[in-house]
Amino acid sequence: MSNRMMVTGAGSGLGREIAVRWAREGWRLALCDLDEARLQETLRLVQAAGGEGFIRRCDVRDYSQLTALAEACQSQFDGLDVLVNNAGVASGGFFSELSLEDWDWQLSINLMGVVKGCKAFLPLIQQSQGRVINVASMAALMQGPGMSNYNVAKAGVVALSESLLVELRGLGVRVHVLCPSFFQTNLLDSFRGPTPEMKAAVGKLLESSPISAADIADYLYQQVLVEAFMILPHEAGRQAWEGKRRNPEPLYAEMAYMADRMRAKAAG
Ligand SMILES: NC(=O)c1ccc[n+]([C@@H]2O[C@H](COP(=O)([O-])OP(=O)(O)OC[C@H]3O[C@@H](n4cnc5c(N)ncnc54)[C@H](O)[C@@H]3O)[C@@H](O)[C@H]2O)c1
């Protein structure tokens, strides 16, 4: 029976809801995050939902912390069936305003954190012929203005997931990549960018979502059951992606217009 999952960024938002959704099916959860108090609360919710597990403070930028966590999964669960690389941070700002430090910070968490998670846990996942679920974003597919470092990190997560999908299929490992549009979580707390206006704009977008983190976790659960690879939980996101693949030019025009408006607003 497969019932052992590890979730990064499980102290908040989507990571917490994914843990709780799988806990409802009686799964055992290894929960990691930077914030231990929030992890305690997630563990409480997991137990209330019918699951069990353990928590571990772990920074996904630190490969040695991830390999130590993989060892803890081996000793406490005797292996692992599903790896969820969810931890992430928000950023924004026009390319001209972003510093190289902004790029390093964003890529070190949202892209390299996923690469390191896969590297550290793949031996366990290969052993169980389990699954990898990587959390990317619609940003990976749409490349909206004013967030190039986030777009690139998330596009990298999609590319990594697609690479693993084909490399690992023959070994019995399944791969999924989740691409949500904006939804309300604590993501804004981690926001890093050159201007407060950009942070406020991202905050408005998070509030605008018609669906919650719990809805997205449930959609993910259902789509994993039917073996979907690229999982787009927002209806508007699915439509936009279909439209872009058919003909990207109208979308580029809309995005360029959005960029002009953002620049004009920032100029006052
Ligand atoms: N909220 C959205 O609108 C949205 C949209 C698309 C994709 N996503 C992605 O969903 C994922 C979850 O984000 P969320 O919206 O639930 O945000 P959130 O801030 O509520 O949760 C993210 C969690 O990741 C943790 N984290 C951050 N850096 C970490 C690190 N270095 N090591 C370990 N843990 C770390 C945080 O402490 C936090 O608990 C992220 O990858 C995010 O990019 C979010």
CATH code where residue 108 lies: 3.40.50.720
Secondary element (H or E) of residue 8: strand 4-8
pTM: predicted TM-score of the whole model, two decimal places: 0.97
Residue 198 belongs to a domain = yes
Query: Atom of ligand 1 at shortest distance to CA of 38?
Result: 39
Task: List all residues 6 or more positions away from 164 whose beta carbon is below 8 Å from its beta carbon.
Answer: 118, 132, 173, 175
Residue 256 belongs to a domain = no
Residue 218 belongs to a domain = yes
Residue 173 belongs to a domain = yes
Is 252 one of the annotated active-site residues of the chain? Answer: no
What is the number of domains present in the chain? 1
Judged by DSSP in three states, 123 sits in helix
Residue 98 has a pLDDT of 96
Residue 65 belongs to a domain = yes
Residue 1 has a pLDDT of 60
Residue 255 belongs to a domain = no
What is the CB < 6 Å shell around ligand 1?
Answer: 8-9, 11-15, 33-35, 38, 58-61, 86-89, 109, 113, 135, 137, 180, 182-183, 185-187, 189-190, 206
Q: How deeply is 42 buried, as exposed, middle or buried, from its count of CB atoms within 10 A (0-12, 13-18, 19+)? A: buried
Residue 243 belongs to a domain = no
What is the rounded distance in angstroms from the CA atom of residue 121 to the CA atom of residue 43?
Answer: 21
Residue 235 has a pLDDT of 96
Residue 33 belongs to a domain = yes
What is the rounded distance in angstroms from the CA atom of residue 232 to the CA atom of residue 142?
Answer: 12
Q: Domain of 94? A: 4-234
CA 170 to ligand 1 centroid distance, Å: 31
Tokens of 232: 């787009």
How wide is the angle at C-alpha 73 spanned by C-alphas 65 and 179, nearest 5°? 75
List the chain residues with pLDDT less than 50.
none
CA 246 to ligand 1 centroid distance, Å: 31
Q: Radius of gyration (Cα) for the chain, nearest Å?
A: 18
